[in-house]
Amino acid sequence: MANNNDITTEILHKEIDLIQGVINRMANNSFLLKGWLISLIAVILALTKDTIVATQLSYFNLVLLLPVIVFWYLDAFFLHKEKCYRKLYEWVIENRKSSNNFLYNLNYKRFENKVKSTFRIMFSQTLLPFYGLIFIVLITLALHNQLA
């Protein structure tokens, strides 16, 4: 017969496995967004190079900034949720042995005020260089095509 400490440890392991699964999905979504954005921009620029007149291409490059902003926001959104779940993970590790409050509760809302907002995460050290570089390249291409 298992003792109470073994049951508590088993519950803790199951709960942190559930949380870790959510964290992994959020991180995977963030990774996939970056890949989709690079692919989307590369394909669109490659396909439109010969089909659009050079003067229109500069405006087209500026239109491509919209998907960059949307993907940038979505990436920050997933990173925000991942950070919330990491806080939940830390809370469970610290408190599960002494309390059964919020047992198997995967609601991250109580930790939202403990992490940066989605907008602040957009301009963090991890996302700003990636999306900022793409943003700058598209603006540079638009200016180059306008002047050419």
Q: H/E element holding 115?
A: none
Q: What is the DSSP letter of 107?
A: -
Residue-number span of the structural domain to which 143 is assigned: 4-147
User: pLDDT digits over 37-96, tens only?
Assistant: 999 988 887 877 666 655 566 677 778 889 999 999 999 999 999 999 999 999 988 887
Q: How many CB atoms lie within 10 A of CB 79?
A: 23
The count of structural domains within the chain is 1
User: pLDDT digits over 88-131, tens only?
Assistant: 999 988 887 777 787 778 888 999 999 999 999 999 999 999 99
Question: Is the confidence at residue 7, as pLDDT, over 70?
Answer: no
